[in-house]
Chains A and B, each alone.
Chain A
């Protein structure tokens, strides 16, 4: 095919209108490189198309330029922030979203863990307190059980000790068993001792007062060391720590063993 035939086949127009396959287009480009006259012909067709477009010219609205360039600026910032385009942007956005979501979840769980941990510690502490309380209660219970067992023995004597003139409404009870090594005192009613004073229990043995120790009001049963053959029990108000001999005018309670 000579140049004239090649030109009149319309292949250059097809090339310029981008209707050729890539292989055909490459062949045209190869021909153009080796044939300056063919190139000249191509340029004339281009010029014709250009001038035809020129003749179709219409002035667009004045604001179109601003609109286009602000669009380009927008694209520019997007391109600068993500050179690999919208898929990259999508991945970035997805990544950021995932990160945010997982951060929130992680923080949430961390918070819950912290709270649970605090709760666990406080529960453990509470548990320890309860265990101590239980131990205390158990001890008290076994003590009460012992006292009850002591009191319920057939040979345990109950000695009522009653208020004297100094405090006529006061009263107490002594549980005494000659075969056992202890005496129980139950204070039913006694006024609060003044500051620096304590009540002291006495047993009268062979006409002589025997010191059974000082006590504080409050406990249900006071376990006191045993005495042999008491004829009576008495409670006096003494200086704190007790006295070797009872202060007789401060005797609050007195009861004889029947």
Chain B
């Protein structure tokens, strides 16, 4: 468990921070998520997904619960989501590695449409249907944009 923490905490904490946009709440989210991970580690199935995918989903769900519990209504959030996402000042936090690309640099390589769906869905905790409904974009378009964003990210992050 300690090894899991050391390996993944920076990525999990960074993601949580980007989601809830508050350091102490992000710490709470990570703590709650780790307790859940510890409690449910037996239900992780390696044939279904990578461990990190399983962990990040627990973290994201925990963060989503937290955002909903503090009455973060979708409509309130929608106006300010871009401000939130892009006002996080990278310099405020210690980056894990100077060599590695920061999230800002990564997202810079996307079109604004692609960046929006990643921010709304991956870091905002919305489902694709919620995004479609909220922004008046057809669900098919949301899916296509997410898919193209993922393809672009794959190139930027040199996954292939």
Inter-subunit contact B157/A57 (CB<8 Å):
no
Q: Is A133 part of the contact surface with B, judged by Cβ < 8 Å?
A: no
Most buried by B among A8, A19, A48: A48
> Does B103 contact A52, Cβ atoms closer than 8 Å?
yes
Which DSSP category, helix, strand, loop or mixed, fits chain B's interface? helix
Tell me which of A59-67, A103-111, A112-120, A161-169 binds B.
A59-67
Tell me the minimal C-beta distance from A91 to chain B in angstroms.
20
Residue of chain B at shortest CB distance from A59: B94
Q: What number of A residues sit within 8 Å (CB to CB) of B?
A: 39
Contacting residues, chain A, for B150 (C-beta < 8 A): 13, 45, 48
Number of A-B contacts (CB under 8 A): 145
Known contacts A46-B52, A59-B94, A68-B30, A51 near B157 by CB under 8 Å: yes
The answer to whether B9 and A60 have CB atoms under 8 Å apart is: yes
Interface pair B143/A57, CB less than 8 Å apart? no
A42 to B47 CA separation, bound complex (whole angstroms):
12
> Which of B52, B93, B159 counts the most chain A CB atoms within 10 A?
B159
- A13–B153 Cα gap in the complex (Å)? 13
Let me know if A52 and B157 touch, CB within 8 A.
yes
Instruction: Using C-beta atoms within 8 Å of the partner chain, give the interface range for chain B.
Output: 35 or more
Of all chain B residues, which has the CB nearest A16? B53
A18-B57, A46-B49, A48-B154 known; A53-B146 Cβ under 8 A: no
Nearest chain B CB to A78 CB, angstrom units: 11
Contact A29 B50 (CB under 8 A): no
Beta-carbon contact of B14 and A9 below 8 Å? no
| Stretch from A69-77, A122-130, A203-211, A225-233 that touches the partner | A69-77
Task: Give complex CA distance A54, B31 in Å.
Answer: 18
1/0 per residue B4-17: CB within 8 Å of A?
Answer: 01000111111101
- Among A49, A55, A71, contact of B31 (Cβ-Cβ < 8 Å): A71
* A1 close to B (CB within 8 Å): no
Which residues of B lie under 8 Å from residue A13 when comparing CB positions?
143, 146-147, 150
- Are B13 and A60 closer than 8 Å at their CB atoms? yes
Q: Which of A45, A51, A58, A75 contacts B14 (CB 8 A)?
A: A58
A-B contact pairs, 25 of them (CB 8 A): A9-B147, A10-B128, A13-B143, A13-B147, A16-B57, A17-B122, A48-B157, A49-B53, A50-B53, A52-B122, A53-B12, A54-B96, A54-B100, A56-B11, A56-B18, A56-B123, A57-B100, A58-B17, A58-B93, A58-B96, A60-B30, A65-B9, A71-B31, A72-B35, A72-B38
Residues of B at the A interface (CB closer than 8 Å) are 1-2, 5, 9-15, 17-18, 26-27, 30-31, 34-35, 38-39, 48-50, 52-53, 56-57, 61, 93-97, 100-103, 105-106, 118, 121-123, 127-129, 143-144, 146-147, 150, 153-154, 157, 159-160
